[in-house]
Structure 1
Amino acid sequence: MKLFRKLREQFIVKLAYINYFKYAIGEIVLVVIGILIALQINNWNEIRKQEIVIQNYYVKISNEIDSLLKLLENNTGYTEYMTKELKYCIDYMESKRIDSNAVYLEKLKLTTDCASQTFFYPVINEFLSQGYLTKVNDKKISKYFENLSYYQQQINVNDEDRTNYCVMQLQPFIQKNINYSDIMLDSGVNPHFDLPDVSTKNGPKTDFQKMQNSIELWNLIYRKIEIERDALVINKSLISTLKKIKKQIEILKIKDDKE
Structure 2
Amino acid sequence: MIKFFRKIRQNLLLKNKFKKYLVYAIGEIFLVVIGILLALSINNWNSNRIKDKIIRNYYERIISELNQEIISAERQKKQNHKLISYNQRALKILNSKNSDSLDILKDLLGATATNWISEYSFPITDEFLNQNFLSEIKNDSLKANFKYFSQVLKITEGLNGYNNDQYRMTIEPFFAKNINYSEVALKNYKKFLIDGGPKTDLRPFFENLELWNILTFKLESLEIEYQMFDKAIKAFKSLKSEIKTELEKK
Q: Same fold (TM over 0.5)?
A: yes
Please say if residues 177 and 207 of structure 1, whose CA atoms lie closer than 8 Å, have aligned partners that are also in contact: no
Match of 1:86 in 2: 87
- Equivalent AA in structure 2 for residue 129 of structure 1: N
Please say if residues 109 and 185 of structure 2, whose CA atoms lie closer than 8 Å, have aligned partners that are also in contact: no
Aligned-partner SS, 1:201: coil
- 1:1-259 equivalence runs, <5 A: 16-99=17-100, 101-185=102-186, 186-189=189-192, 198-203=193-198, 205-256=199-250
> What are the Cα deviations for residues 198-240 of structure 1, in whole angstroms up to 9, with x where unaligned?
432232x222121111111111011111111111111111110
Name structure 1 gaps, 5 residues minimum: 1-11, 190-197
Work out the CA distance in 1 between the residues paired with 2:140 and 2:19.
56
Query: Deviation at 1:146?
Result: 1.1
Query: Deviation at 1:15?
Result: 5.4
Bigger CA drift: 59-68 or 105-114? 105-114
> What are the Cα deviations for residues 61-94 of structure 1, in whole angstroms up to 9, with x where unaligned?
0000001001100001111121012100011011
Work out the CA distance in 2 between the residues paired with 1:162 and 1:182.
23
Match of 2:7 in 1: none
User: Residues 249, 63 of structure 1: CA spacing in aligned structure 2 closer, same or farther, 3 A cutoff?
Assistant: same
Work out the CA distance in 1 between the residues paired with 2:122 and 2:179.
40
Report the structure, 1 or 2, having the larger helix content.
Answer: 2
Name structure 2 gaps, 5 residues minimum: 1-12
- Give the 4+ runs in structure 1 shifted more than 4 A: 12-15
Work out the CA distance in 1 between the residues paired with 2:232 and 2:173.
33
Query: Deviation at 1:252?
Result: 0.5
Work out the CA distance in 2 between the residues paired with 1:37 and 1:15.
34
CA-atom RMSD, angstroms? 1.7
Percent of aligned positions with the same letter in both sequences? 29
- Number of equivalences: 236
Select the structure of larger CA radius of gyration. 1
> What are the Cα deviations for residues 30-62 of structure 1, in whole angstroms up to 9, with x where unaligned?
000011011001111111111111111110000
Aligned-partner SS, 2:49: helix
